[in-house]
A and B are shown apart, each in its own frame.
Chain A
Amino acid sequence: MKRIASFATLVLTAALSTVSTAAEYPTRNITSVVVWGAGGGTDTANRIVAAEMSKFLPTRINVINKPGGVAGSLGMSYGYSQKSDGYTMVGISESNVTSAVQAGWDKKFSVWYPFIIGGSPDLVSVTANSPYKTLKDLVEAAKKSPNSIKAAASGSGSIHHLNLLALENGSGADFNFIPYKGSAPGQNAAMTGEVTVVVTSLAEQQQLLKAGKLRPLAMLVKGSTTVDGVGEIPSAFDSYSGLTKYLPISQAIGMAIRSDAPDEAKAALTEAFNKALATDKVKKWAADSYYQLSGKTGAEASAQFASLESLFSWTLHELGATKVNPADLGIAKP
């Protein structure tokens, strides 16, 4: 009976495929391989959006984790080794673009067709009892005595470090960058006063801001943001318009399929993705976790990842942290 049914489905789909291509995909469950660990930011975002997308698709999206390797290379290699039929997705974030220059794998990021969920915007904050009340105070002081104000921003070559570098380039300030192994130790150092300035994401800082342990100065994205119990945090662009040349460099958490996947798969997934991001559930999750939804797909999303890839790869290369020259991979300079 089962065999007959599946045969019938086969015939039916074959027949339908000649009529309408949209109905052909998906006919079975899709697997999404998150290349970062369970419970992390990328994992949570993928699980929530995948669950909503499943409601707009005839089949389910099952999320699994394959963390490890270099900048998620294990999961990406696995995902890439599957058939390019659109039934295997990868859950990714902006940090994955560094895998190639760090010899995690040998592919450019353009092998993926990404869907960007969004990310938490970066902001610049200072120690609560420091004399700087506004971004202007801070930048002017840094200009007056270059390289004397200490700044933390997670590890060298992280997205937060790139934001700090962009802030320096766009405002003319010159900070003494002190590297920490992650966002949390960097923020702690700003609290203890070991460093004065810290650049990390709003999601990572919000608890400390609410507790009054750090003083927010400016968002490193367009437009101000209001945080409960903290008030409105202005955009850095308002005080330094030159920043638009370098910023925003946004976190890009999302999912992707192989770029050589069939067009109908891309179309079906894009439609479900857009609908999922418009649901109240996703919107509420984003607001609760201080994420800004992006919703970029197609060429727009690919372009954002390409620019992140170029920026990250060359910055790391200049820091001496790459094993493969980005030029050898064909990654253009920013």
Chain B
Amino acid sequence: MTMDFFSNLGIFFQTILQLIDNPMTILLLLGASFLGIIFGALPGLTATLGVALLTTLTYSMDLETALIALISMYVGAVYGGSYPSILINIPGTAAAAATALDGYPMAQRGEGGRALGLTTTASFIGTVVGMLALIAFAPLIADAALQFTSYEFFLLAFFGIIISGTLTSSDLVYKGWIAGLIGLALSCIGRDQLQFYPRFTFDLSQLDGGIEVVPVLIGAFAVPQIIRSMRDRLTLGKPQPIKRILPEFKTIRKNFKHIIRSSMIGVGIGAVPGVGEDIAGWVSYGTTKNSHPKPENFGKGEPAGIIASETANNSCIGGALIPLVTLGIPGSPPAVMLLGALMLHGLNPGPMVVINRPTFLYELCAIMVLASLAMWLNGMFLAKHVIKVLRVPATVFLPIVTVLSVIGSYALGLNIFNLYLMIPVGIAAYLLGEMDYPISPLVIGVILGPMADENLRRALMVGEGDLTGFFERPVSLLLIAAIVLTICSQIPAWKRLSSRLIARFLKRSEGEQK
């Protein structure tokens, strides 16, 4: 095991050296990270959208190059959201919403530069901690790789859809499940993978191969975003002036405790499928406030507040990649997009990736380290210029994004049918969003649908129609239990019962403490 660890460490450093040896790679790293920051900084554009649009530009790249671009974009965008939070009190992405609470008051006090320096370093540390978590936890899960057969793969895909539906619904959990099932239904279109029987193709040859994931992703994530931003006619306030941006190592050192806690929260939340950076930022902010000696300072420009939300939302990236790499289930909405991109490049993440491509995890981590470095450098030296984009009106950048979305969908196989797919999906996603249906489960349904479908049918083939196979295998049983619990926990009667149990348990442990 230790031998393994050192040889893996070797691969890790080798990859880093290889990557920085190539000037094109460095350019790509810095460029993608810079673009990411802009995507994050412009309110109305999100990390998910950035990764989605960039994916369409990576069709012709090899996997590693594509990953460098996409990860840098992801890391940059999650970080970039803090700029407008701090300077104009409008979060660039939902992930940076908590940052505005203390960032804007600091900027009003004339400490905008300090706040930006803090976010930059905190985001950097967060990303690196997330990466360390990924490298530490992923092999543990992957150790069980050989336990995964068609039964488990089906349950895994189904669990991914259910849990993301559960966690992303803002009001009724059923809406998340409905969205997931819509996605699952969409994924059934086309010839089935095992016996080539055409399903729901309406004799359209374009539907024969199934629906392409990328146009659906762009339709579902980009189109509603564009419609909404145009509808709301977002006007931005004048940014607060900033002076110099310094790394603020001193303040960071003083808040070390909060950084560690926030990173752990970020990793934990990121690892849960479907919930992402936005929730991580809030939870971490709340926890830090509650445990801080002076909670009354929060909301008035307390550096620890910024550190809390920014460390957590960036460490969430590594967390979100844990289930993505090991189980093939994306942990956050941008990771959904990343999964789509990986599949496009012929890599199917999942338990078998350690066997099929043993070095992948370490390559990925090497790229993450470089991406966070690129982000930090961009933040330190270019932030002053990046914030100029905040003066660009939405009427200028939204049409650009629209054109990019259309080109991106079309460019996949130069197929005009992709546009006929993207637009209706986009409009449907917008309408669903207006009715408070979450969109991520729908997209996860489309992505994981073929995995669920193919493996369920193969499991039945292998078992010759017998279902007992599902109940004879340990991992399979565990997954069934997880699915049943997820569903049951949403039933009101069950909720009442469990809250009563928890209350009783808490009372007893309090009693013990006394």
Contact = CB atoms under 8 A, between A and B. Distances in A.
A184 B146 contact: no
A184 B461 contact: no
A39 B454 contact: no
Interface string B194-226: 111100000001001100000000000000000
A100 interface: no
A323 B206 CA distance: 13
B230 interface: no
Nearest to A179: B194
> Which applies to chain A's interface (DSSP): helix, strand, loop or mixed?
loop
A68 B146 CA distance: 33
Interface stretch (A163-171, A188-196, A302-310): A188-196
Given A189-B150, A192-B148, A192-B149, A321 B196 contact: yes
Interface of A: 37-39, 68-70, 74, 103, 150, 155-156, 178-181, 184-185, 188-189, 191-195, 208, 319-321, 323
B352 A184 contact: yes
Given A103-B205, A181-B454, A156 B194 contact: yes
Interface of B: 60, 62-63, 146-150, 191, 193-197, 205, 208-209, 346, 352, 355-356, 413-414, 454, 458, 461-462
Contact of B195 (A69, A156, A189, A208): A156
Most buried by A among B147, B193, B209: B193
Given A38-B60, A68-B414, A150-B462, 7 more contacts: A155-B193, A156-B194, A179-B458, A184-B356, A194-B149, A194-B150, A320-B195
Nearest to A102: B208
B351 to A, nearest CB: 9
A188 B196 contact: no
B196 A156 contact: yes
B264 to A, nearest CB: 33
Contact of B355 (A178, A188, A323): A188
A178 B346 CA distance: 22
Contacts of B62: 38-39
B452 to A, nearest CB: 14
B462 A188 contact: no
Contacts of A178: 458, 461-462
A319 B196 contact: yes
Contacts of B461: 178
Contacts of B194: 156, 179
Contacts of A323: 205, 208
22 contacts: A38-B62, A39-B62, A68-B413, A70-B209, A103-B205, A155-B193, A178-B461, A178-B462, A180-B458, A181-B454, A185-B352, A188-B352, A188-B356, A189-B149, A191-B146, A192-B148, A195-B462, A208-B355, A319-B195, A320-B195, A321-B196, A323-B205
A299 to B, nearest CB: 34
A194 B462 contact: yes
A191 B197 CA distance: 29
Nearest to A321: B196
A128 B150 CA distance: 19
A308 B405 CA distance: 41
Contact of B346 (A37, A69, A193): A37
A290 B414 CA distance: 35
Nearest to A184: B356
A184 B195 CA distance: 19
B349 to A, nearest CB: 13
A38 B61 CA distance: 9
A321 B198 CA distance: 10
Q: List the 10 closest A-B pairs by CB distance, nearest first.
A: A321-B196, A194-B149, A188-B352, A179-B194, A192-B149, A184-B356, A192-B146, A68-B413, A39-B62, A320-B196
A294 B252 CA distance: 64
Contacts of A156: 194-196
Contacts of A103: 205
A155 B413 CA distance: 23
A236 B88 CA distance: 74
Contacts of A69: 413
Contacts of A189: 149-150
A324 to B, nearest CB: 11
B136 to A, nearest CB: 24
A150 B458 CA distance: 12
A184 B62 CA distance: 19
Nearest to B450: A181
Contacts of B193: 155, 179, 181
B464 to A, nearest CB: 8
Nearest to B208: A323
Contacts of B150: 189, 194
Contacts of B148: 192
A193 B473 CA distance: 13
A180 B352 CA distance: 14
Nearest to A177: B461
Contacts of B197: 320
Contacts of A185: 352
Contacts of B414: 68
A26 B197 CA distance: 48
Most buried by A among B193, B208, B209, B355: B355
A7 B173 CA distance: 77
A185 B150 CA distance: 10
Contacts of B208: 323
Contacts of A155: 193
A105 B196 CA distance: 19
Contacts of A191: 146, 355
B347 to A, nearest CB: 11
Contacts of A321: 191, 196
Nearest to B197: A320
B190 to A, nearest CB: 13
A103 B346 CA distance: 23
A129 to B, nearest CB: 12
A118 B186 CA distance: 41
Nearest to A213: B355
B142 to A, nearest CB: 13
A191 B146 CA distance: 7
Contacts of A193: 149
Contacts of A180: 458
Contacts of B352: 184-185, 188
A323 to B, nearest CB: 8
A195 B461 CA distance: 11
Nearest to A180: B458
Nearest to A316: B196
Most buried by A among B148, B346, B458: B458
A208 B355 CA distance: 9
A185 B352 CA distance: 8
Nearest to B151: A194
B474 to A, nearest CB: 13
A333 to B, nearest CB: 20
A210 to B, nearest CB: 13
A220 B346 CA distance: 28
Contacts of B458: 178-180
A225 B197 CA distance: 39
A319 B146 CA distance: 31
A23 to B, nearest CB: 37
Contacts of A179: 193-195, 458
